[in-house]
Amino acid sequence: MFVLDERLQQDTCWLADLPLCRVLLMNDARYPWLILVPRVAAVSEVFELDEAQQHQLWDESRLLAQAMQGVFAADKMNIATLGNVVRQLHMHLVVRVEGDESWPAPVWGRGAAVPYSESGQDAVRKQMLQALERSGLEVALA
């Protein structure tokens, strides 16, 4: 049974479901940042998914990353599954722009997250929904 990790729950808000993954918006206004979490029982490595799920995770990641790059005019997309702290398997999709707070270093463990204002979150949520639509993936919003 799929249960979202508490730390992920605390740091993000729910945006949509894709065929395999829950799509979470990282509550950090410094970077447009999504986290994809396969809705499966506890796994921590991609290769613990079955073959079909591994391919689906990749398709959801790469198609959504591509759409995010378009919507946010990213200079570089960072796509990563680390999981050293939160062991539940999750994939980071982070929009990077030259000159952003951590550029060119990775975003993890640099400074403190800056929570969105209500209007800021509304705005980025709209853009993320645009990206989901552009991705061509089957999206469930509810």
Chain residues binding its own copies by CB under 8 A are 44-47, 54-55, 58, 62-63, 65-66, 69, 76-85, 87, 96, 103-106, 108-109
Q: How far is the CB of 36 from its own copies (least distance, A)?
A: 13
Q: How far is the CB of 131 from its own copies (least distance, A)?
A: 13
Q: How far is the CB of 47 from its own copies (least distance, A)?
A: 4
| Cβ-contact 99, 85 below 8 angstroms | no
109 or 112, CB closer to its own copies?
A: 109
CA–CA separation, 42 and 117 (whole Å): 32
8 or 63, CB closer to its own copies?
A: 63
Residue 13, Cβ neighbours under 10 Å: how many?
A: 12
98 or 118, CB closer to its own copies?
A: 98
95: its two tokens: 């929009």
Q: How far is the CB of 11 from its own copies (least distance, A)?
A: 15
Q: Count how many residues are written for the chain.
A: 142
Which three-class secondary structure state does DSSP give residue 6?
A: helix
22 or 96, CB closer to its own copies?
A: 96
Residue in 31, 8, 38, 37 with CA at minimum distance from that of residue 78: 31
